Each structure stands twice: as structure tokens, then as C-alpha cells.
Amino acid sequence: MKTSITLSSLFLAAATLAGCAVFSPGPRASAKLSPTTGSAVTGSLQFVQKEGKVLVNGEVRGLKPNAEHGFHIHEKGDCSSGDGMSAGGHFNPTAMPHAAHSAAMHHAGDLPSLKADANGVATVNFESTSISVGASVTDISGKGLIVHRDPDDYKTQPTGNAGPRLACAVIVKS
């Protein structure tokens, strides 16, 4: 039995492999939010590094309906305390002021606020160039993820005055 390989089939195979390298996502991480004492907030989030940015998506449940909630990456991947304070302060490896995620200068851990619907569910879907998965000083692997009770005012330093911590997770590289 004789197999013949044409130039066009080799070209197609090379283009397919090259396309996979360009379009395949990079390192991934996930976080499973657990409620702090007295809270019912839970959720699951995924972080995918792709072409200089991190795609963040997931869902958070048990929030106050039709309300906004502060949402941050914190410096320690430690959710051992009942109030979430063991996660430390905001993740800020580049020593920037606290501000909105959309501001030119902000903590790496400053994320867009969560906006709960009428059922207390917030759908998360955004991109960030401030964080990374698996590389550089902005690597979020092993850091904490916190949902706060109140909206972030984006002014109060260094926390945004977002109130108590309702849920905590450790971001785990997969």
C-alpha cells in the first residue's frame, strides 16, 4: 500500500497547526467562592490568559438583588478566617492607587464591580490587561478573590470602602 502526500495537504496541516498556536488559550486558573460567616454568596470563576490579557468569566450567586458589589483580587490566597480578612489587602504588586478597573492607574486587583440581577445573580465577563495567569509580578495564581457587600467608591484608599467580605476564594492555576 502506497501513501501519497500532496503539497496542498502539507500546507493545510501546517496552517492548521499554526492556527492552533495563535488561537489556543494560554494558562488558566479558576476560583470557587465560598461564603464568609453569615453570608450565602457563592460562585465560580475562570481566568484564561490570551494574547496579553486575561479573560475572566463566571457567575456569583446569593448577592443582594439589583445591587452593586465590590470585587477584588487580594494579596493572600487564604480564606481561613470566617470574615475573609485572612486574604489581606488588595493585590497591588505595581504600587498603584486604588481606582476603577477602567482607570489608567489602579491596583492589579481592582476588578469591575459585580452587578446583581433581580435574582441576586451576577454574570462576570470581562478582559483585563492588569493581571496575568502564571507569569510576571501580576500573576494571580495563589491569590485571594473577594466579593464585598457594598459598591466600591473607587476613591477611598486603599480599599474603595466596599464593606465586609461576603465570599472568598483562592485562585488556583489549572
State the catalytic residue, choosing from 69, 106, 107, 139: 107
Active-site residue (options: 98, 106, 139, 152): 98
72 given a catalytic annotation: yes
Catalytic: 98?
yes
Q: Which of 69, 72, 101, 106 is catalytic?
A: 72
**Phi-psi bin for 17: left (phi > 0), alpha (psi -120 to 50), beta?**
alpha
Q: Cα–Cα distance between 173 and 45 in angstroms, integer?
A: 12
101 is catalytic: no
**Annotation says 69 is catalytic:** no
Catalytic residue, candidates 69, 90, 101, 106: 90
Look at the alpha carbons of 19, 53, 168, 29 in this order and tell me if their dihedral is positive or negative.
positive
State the catalytic residue, choosing from 69, 101, 148, 152: 148
Catalytic residue from among 101, 106, 110, 139: 110
Residue 106 annotated among the catalytic residues of the structure: no
Q: CA–CA distance from 154 to each of 9, 101, 130 (Å)?
A: 55, 9, 16
Catalytic residues: 72, 74, 90, 98, 107, 110, 148, 165
